[in-house]
Amino acid sequence: MALQCLASTTGSALTATPAQLGHTVRRDMVVTAVVLTVLFCVLAVLPGLQLAVDSPSARVALEALRLCVVGFAALILGLPAEQHPSIARNAFVAALVVIAAASALLGVVPSVAAEILGTTPAGVDRFYPWLASRYIAGLLFVSAGLQWPRLSLRAYVVASLLLLAAAELALFDVTAPRRALGASLEVPPLLLFALGAWLAARRAARSGAPLERWLALALLVGTFTQLQAIRQPEILGSVVTTTDVLRMISTLLLLIGAASQVRQMSRDSVGTVHLQRRDLEERDALVNALGGYVAREEAFRAVVHHELATPVATIRAYAHVLRSAPPADDRWTNALGGIVSEAEQLHALIGRVDELRDLELGAFSCTLRPVRALPLLRDIARFATTLSGQHHVHVRADDLRINADPVRLGQALRNVAANAVRYSPDGGRIDLIGEAVGADRYRLVVVDQGVGVDVDETGAVLAFAGRGRNAAAVEGRGIGLFIARRIAEAHNGHIDIEPNEPIGTRVSIEVERR
Amino acid sequence: MTTVLLVEDHTAFAQALTAVMGLTDDLEVVGHAHTAEDAEVLGSRLSVDVAVIDLDLPIASGVDVLNNMRDRPAAPRCVVLTASTDPAELGRAVEAGAGAVLHKSTDMAELLDVVRRVAAGDTVLPADQTSSWLRALAAERERTWQARTVGATLTARESQILQLLADGHGGGAIAEQLVISGQTVQTHVRNLLGKLGVGSRLEAVALGLRLGIIEQADHDR
């Protein structure tokens, strides 16, 4: 019943919560303990039901079966141990090896040898060698529960076998003790098995590992087996007793534990491989997508560079031609000046399209030289006037030299001025102010009477693609101020944006004075 | 008077250059070719001192025009005037015998000056730029050579699988698409990793793309 109950829950153990897991493990243990107690009581009341069959062949068959089961369990669990190291499993496998070795050396081999040679089997009727194997196995099961000492599988197996061999050599010829002593000597393995069962159940409740669950049950059976061994002392030799049958059951439970653990390990590793493969495929797709973006950006740059270069060159060539013709009047000269100036600007910017990439990489550089601030601001004023046609643009500046890249700084100021035009009502006033700050700095300020900016979002609007709440109604990408910020930084300066009192926005770019 | 042939597919730009040169006393544009073929015809019919050649032409490229001009009996001197910034392409132009290589953003006065100097027999190639262009060209040739060598060692199936990997397919999808077993795909992948001398599929794809053995995946699907 307990087995069925367990078999039905093992599959779902992986998905259970720790509380559910604890409950399941406890329930299995209690059910098994109740079944065994009932069995124990029945055997106590009706001692006649206790087995005591003197059959050398049955005994050898039982030992051989035990050897096969334990050996198989040790093998399937021990082989993958190298790939999935676990202290608990190392100790457990060593215990299986000890049980198998005892079965082989004390049961199967002597019996078969005696059968062939026609003599009495040596060791089968010895009490202490069997007892020693139970002590060692009990210690190893406790060690598995404690996960201590932290030894490799090989170290565990070798140490256990050496211990077993030493015990066998020392105790081989010691004759069986009297009944009372024999029974009391079975008590320590009983305690070890009980402790091992408790530790395994506790670990199973935490980890849900099938091996721990079945080990706990096997050791519980082992504990009752010891009780039975105390009550019905070993009848040595070729007699098969209830104790032997119980030991066989416990051994089978160990095999089930080993098999389900191996099954889960292989399921886990298949799952891991699956996940890794999916991960790799996703990464591949991501790399491809990124490659696509990079390629598209590169294509865009090439288009800007290549396709715009020729029209701009054409404008500049015609401007060159017009310049050498006699000027008609002032309007003509101004118009030509505008064409030339904007074509130069466009040309300079196209030449720097490559640097768009560097902008992101932080490798944004400017060629700084002494530049007069006043003409620069007047140029921006002209730009703002042309752009708007409706705003009143005023320039007020200390005519000092600053350390600047005129094209770049002009670009930054144009971006700021374009924002001032865009975000303030027609007919509004825009002030372009240039003022010395201390002995070696200069501040270029653009003040508008527009929608303004909130104090808490001044940082955000200077970030890439950042836009203020008040800007939502106006079309824009939030890149202009970001570029202006990078340009200001490349001028060893900074840009600040703040609300202007009583209305509008005040953007100031501070750079070095020359 | 120095006679100039413009080889330029942008008519407006060619006309602007014609106007600019028309302002000078010593330069005269005697012809305008839109393509390499036009240039060949006009070059053989007209007496040209300097050809101002754009590299990016429809059908054959400006480098073909340079090669063609160089092989003529009375070879005109050549000035490349291009919007291209691809160093390897500029390197090819230098190799093909350009007397000067200028970007279209060059100031008109400077352009006229260079045309005059090349017509007089000078070569106007800044040493540092020229050497970097030629280095880029050499690197490109090296890559092409590597690709050809590596590409030749891959079997058709391996190249196909590498391309599918580059398209973002996993082993299972590849097996399905090529109607072979997953195991066979694994074997092919292992073999091609060995041939390319790389440790992972990702590296193989990256190397394949770099060497041009495979093409970039189509991302617009």
* pTM attached to this predicted model: 0.47
SS3 call for B149: helix
**Res A493: pLDDT:** 92
Number of H helices, E strands in chain A: 17, 9
Burial of B218 (0-12, 13-18, 19+ CB in 10 A): exposed
Of B16, B84, B167, the CB nearest to A317: B16
Of A292, A305, A321, the CB nearest to B19: A321
Q: How far apart are CA A217 and CA A208, in angstroms?
A: 14
* Alpha-carbon distance B215 to nearest alpha carbon in chain A (angstroms): 11
B210–chain A Cβ distance below 8 A for any pair: no
Q: How far apart are CA A288 and CA B219, in angstroms?
A: 8
Helix A210-231 and helix A242-324: axis angle, to 10°?
170
Burial of A240 (0-12, 13-18, 19+ CB in 10 A): buried
Q: Identify all chain A residues contacting B103, using CB atoms and an 8 Å cutoff.
A: 309
Q: How far apart are CA B35 and CA B53, in angstroms?
A: 10
Alpha-helical (H) ranges within A11-152 are: 18-45, 56-78, 87-102, 109-117, 128-146
**How many Cα atoms sit within 13 Å of A406 on the Cβ side?**
16
Residue where the block lists tokens 């003599």: A119
Verify whether the Cβ–Cβ distance A317 to B83 is below 8 Å.
no
- The contacts of residue A218 (CB under 8 Å, 6+ apart) are A250, A251, A253, A254, A257
Residue ranges with strand state E in B172-211: none
Q: To probe the interface with B, which of A273, A288, A356 has the most B CB atoms within 10 Å? A: A288
3-state per-residue secondary structure call for A477-506: CCCHHHHHHHHHHHCCCEEEEEECCCCCEE
Q: Identify all chain B residues contacting A284, using CB atoms and an 8 Å cutoff.
A: 165, 168, 170, 201-202, 205
Q: To probe the interface with B, which of A273, A284, A322, A350 has the most B CB atoms within 10 Å? A: A284
Closest CA to A377 of A347, A403, A410, A344: A410
Verify whether the Cβ–Cβ distance A314 to B216 is below 8 Å.
no
pLDDT in tens, chain A (514 residues): 444 444 444 444 445 677 788 888 889 899 999 999 998 888 888 887 888 788 878 888 888 888 888 888 888 877 765 566 677 788 888 888 888 888 888 888 888 888 788 777 666 667 788 888 888 999 998 888 888 888 888 899 999 999 988 988 888 777 777 777 888 888 888 899 999 888 888 888 888 788 888 888 998 998 988 888 888 776 666 778 888 888 889 888 888 988 888 888 888 878 878 888 888 778 777 877 887 787 777 777 777 776 788 888 889 888 888 888 777 778 888 788 888 877 877 876 776 665 565 555 455 567 788 999 999 999 898 888 877 778 889 999 998 999 998 888 988 898 899 888 888 888 889 999 999 998 899 999 999 988 888 877 777 777 655 666 666 555 454 567 877 888 898 888 999 998 888 888 999 999 999 8
Handedness of CA A472, A474, A475, A479 (dihedral sign): negative
Domain B2-133 and domain B154-211 have a common topology: no
Query: Cα separations (Å) of A19 from A23, A384, B153?
Result: 6, 71, 60
What does residue A233 show for φ and ψ, rounded to 5 degrees? Answer: -55, 150
Q: B103: which strand partners? A: B82
Residue where the block lists tokens 């119980």: A246
Verify whether the Cβ–Cβ distance B216 to A295 is below 8 Å.
yes
Please state the domain extents for chain B.
Answer: 2-133, 154-211
Q: Answer yes or no: are the C-beta atoms of B38 and B53 closer than 8 Å.
A: no
The single-letter code of the amino acid at A85 is P
Tell whether omega for the bond before A56 is within 30 degrees of 0, i.e. cis. Answer: no
Verify whether the Cβ–Cβ distance A317 to B168 is below 8 Å.
no
The single-letter code of the amino acid at A324 is S
Q: How far apart are CA A195 and CA A193, in angstroms?
A: 5
B12–chain A Cβ distance below 8 A for any pair: yes
Query: Cα separations (Å) of B151 from B160, B195, B209?
Result: 11, 10, 12
CATH (residue range B2-133): 3.40.50.2300
Q: How far apart are CA B157 and CA B163, in angstroms?
A: 10
* Alpha-carbon distance B17 to nearest alpha carbon in chain A (angstroms): 6
Q: Identify all chain B residues contacting A281, using CB atoms and an 8 Å cutoff.
A: 168-170
pLDDT tens per residue, range A195-232 = 988 888 888 888 878 888 888 899 899 898 888 888 87
Instruction: Give the CATH number of domain B154-211; options: 3.60.15.10, 1.10.10.10, 3.90.1150.10, 3.30.360.10.
Output: 1.10.10.10
Q: Identify all chain B residues contacting A318, using CB atoms and an 8 Å cutoff.
A: 16, 19
Two tokens, residue A322 = 């017009």
Residue where the block lists tokens 């012809």: B31
Query: Cα separations (Å) of A120 from A58, A104, A114, A117?
Result: 16, 16, 6, 9
Q: How far apart are CA A488 and CA A509, in angstroms?
A: 6
Tell whether omega for the bond before A502 is within 30 degrees of 0, i.e. cis. Answer: yes
Verify whether the Cβ–Cβ distance B202 to A284 is below 8 Å.
yes
Burial of A450 (0-12, 13-18, 19+ CB in 10 A): buried
Q: To probe the interface with A, which of B24, B108, B218 has the most A CB atoms within 10 Å? A: B108
Q: Identify all chain B residues contacting A311, using CB atoms and an 8 Å cutoff.
A: 10, 12-13
Q: Rg (Cα) of chain B, in Å, rounded? A: 24
B201–chain A Cβ distance below 8 A for any pair: yes
